Structure 1
Amino acid sequence: MQRVMWASIAGLCLVALSACVAKWERQDDVDRPMSWGELIALKAPPPQRDALPYGGNAPQQYGELRLPAGRGPHPLAILIHGGCWGAAYDIGYMRPLAAAMNTLGFATWLIEYRRVGGNDGGGWPTTFTDVGLAADYVRVLADYYPVDASRVIAVGHSAGGQLALWLAARRRMPEDSPLHVDDPLPIHGVVGLAAITDLESYRIGPRESCHRMVDEVVGGEPEHVPGRYSQLSPSALLPLGVAQWFIHGAYDSIVPPETLALYADRARRAGDSVVIHTDPAGGHFDVVAPQGPTWDSLVVILNNALLRMPPAGGVRPTSR
Structure 2
Amino acid sequence: MRGILAVLLLLVSLPAEAGGLIEEDIRLPARFAGLFGTRTLSLSALVVRPDDGARHPLAILSHGAPRNEYDRHARSPRDQLDKARELARRGWVTVAVMRRGYGESEGEYAEDYGRCSTPAYEPAGRAAAEDLRETVRLMADKPYVDAGTVIAVGHSAGGFASVALAADPPPGLKAVISFAGGRGSPRPDEVCGPEILADTYARFGQTARVPMLWVYAENDHYIGPALARRLHAAFIGAGGRAELIMLPPFGEDGHKLFSTKGAPLWTAQVDAFLAREGLAQAVPTTAAPPRASALPPEQAITIPVRGEVTESFYLTLPATPPKAILILFPGGGGAIEVREPVPAPEKAGNFLARSRALLAERGFVVATLDAPSDSADGMPEHFRVSATHAEDVAKVAAWLRERHPLPVWLVGTSRGTLSAANAALRQGAGIDGLVLTASVTRTSKQGPHSLLNMDLDRITVPTLVLSHTADGCSRSPALDGPRLTDKIGATRKAYVELTGGAEPQSPPCEGRSHHGFIGQEDEAVGGIAGFVAGQF
- Per-residue deviation at 1:81? 0.3
Q: Which amino acid aligns with 1:162?
A: F
Give the match's secondary structure for 2:30: coil
2:205 is equivalent to residue 238 of structure 1: yes
User: Radius of gyration: which is bigger?
Assistant: 2
Give the match's secondary structure for 1:287: coil
The 3 A distance-change label for structure 1 pair 164 and 130 is closer
Q: Is the 8 A contact 1:164 1:192 kept in 2?
A: yes
Residue deviations 1:217-267 (CA, integer Å, cap 9, x gap): xxxxx9xxx9xx89x933322231111101111111111122221122223
The structure whose RCO (Cα within 8 Å, separation 6+) is larger is: 1
Q: Which amino acid aligns with 2:257?
A: D
1:121 to 95, 99, 108: 108
Please name the residue that 1:54 is paired with: 29
Task: Write the mapping of 1:55-74 to structure 2, written as runs, cut at 5 A.
Answer: 55=30, 58=41, 61-74=43-56
State the TM-score, normalizing by the size of structure 2.
Answer: 0.39
Give the match's secondary structure for 1:109: strand
The 3 A distance-change label for structure 1 pair 237 and 140 is closer
Q: Is the 8 A contact 1:76 1:106 kept in 2?
A: yes
Residue deviations 1:102-149 (CA, integer Å, cap 9, x gap): 111111111111238999521357985464244334344333331111
Q: Is the 8 A contact 1:188 1:242 kept in 2?
A: yes
1:284 to 255, 265, 270: 255
The 3 A distance-change label for structure 1 pair 249 and 308 is same
Give the match's secondary structure for 2:60: strand
Please name the residue that 2:167 is paired with: 169
Q: Which amino acid aligns with 1:188?
A: K
Q: Is the 8 A contact 2:179 2:216 kept in 1?
A: yes
The 3 A distance-change label for structure 1 pair 247 and 134 is closer
CA distance in 2, matches of 1:165, 1:84: 19
Please name the residue that 2:94 is paired with: 108
Q: Which amino acid aligns with 2:59?
A: A
More deviation, 82-91/248-257:
82-91
- Per-residue deviation at 1:161? 0.7
Q: Which amino acid aligns with 2:243?
A: V
The 3 A distance-change label for structure 1 pair 287 and 144 is closer
Please name the residue that 1:295 is paired with: 267
Please name the residue that 2:235 is paired with: 267
Give the match's secondary structure for 1:122: coil
CA distance in 2, matches of 1:286, 1:153: 20
CA distance in 1, matches of 2:174, 2:242: 13
The 3 A distance-change label for structure 1 pair 68 and 267 is same
Aligned residues: 238
Please name the residue that 1:4 is paired with: none
- Per-residue deviation at 1:210? 9.5
CA distance in 2, matches of 1:146, 1:253: 39
- Per-residue deviation at 1:299? 1.8
What percentage of aligned pairs have identical amino acids?
21
Please name the residue that 1:88 is paired with: 71
The 3 A distance-change label for structure 1 pair 264 and 127 is closer
Task: Write the mapping of 1:151-230 to structure 2, written as runs, cut at 5 A.
Answer: 151-170=149-168, 184-196=170-182, 203=184, 207-209=186-188
Q: Which amino acid aligns with 2:276?
A: N
The 3 A distance-change label for structure 1 pair 294 and 55 is closer
More deviation, 292-301/137-146:
137-146
Q: Is the 8 A contact 1:74 1:148 kept in 2?
A: yes
CA distance in 1, matches of 2:239, 2:158: 23
CA distance in 1, matches of 2:56, 2:190: 37
More deviation, 266-275/101-110:
266-275
Unpaired runs of 5+ in structure 2? 1-14, 32-39, 112-122, 282-536
Give the match's secondary structure for 2:150: strand
More deviation, 89-98/239-248:
89-98
2:220 is equivalent to residue 252 of structure 1: yes
Residue deviations 1:35-94 (CA, integer Å, cap 9, x gap): xxxxxxxxxx9x6223222325545x2322211243432111111000248451423432
Please name the residue that 1:77 is paired with: 59
Give the match's secondary structure for 2:158: helix
Q: Is the 8 A contact 2:271 2:280 kept in 1?
A: no
Q: Which amino acid aligns with 2:269?
A: S
2:121 is equivalent to residue 135 of structure 1: no
Q: Which amino acid aligns with 1:187?
A: L
Superposition CA RMSD, Å: 3.9
Give the match's secondary structure for 1:145: coil
Q: Is the 8 A contact 1:114 1:123 kept in 2?
A: yes
CA distance in 2, matches of 1:127, 1:161: 10
Q: Which amino acid aligns with 1:101?
A: L
Give the match's secondary structure for 1:192: strand
Q: Is the 8 A contact 2:97 2:135 kept in 1?
A: no
State the TM-score, normalizing by the size of structure 1.
Answer: 0.62
More deviation, 79-88/154-163:
79-88
Q: Is the 8 A contact 1:69 1:105 kept in 2?
A: no
CA distance in 1, matches of 2:87, 2:180: 18
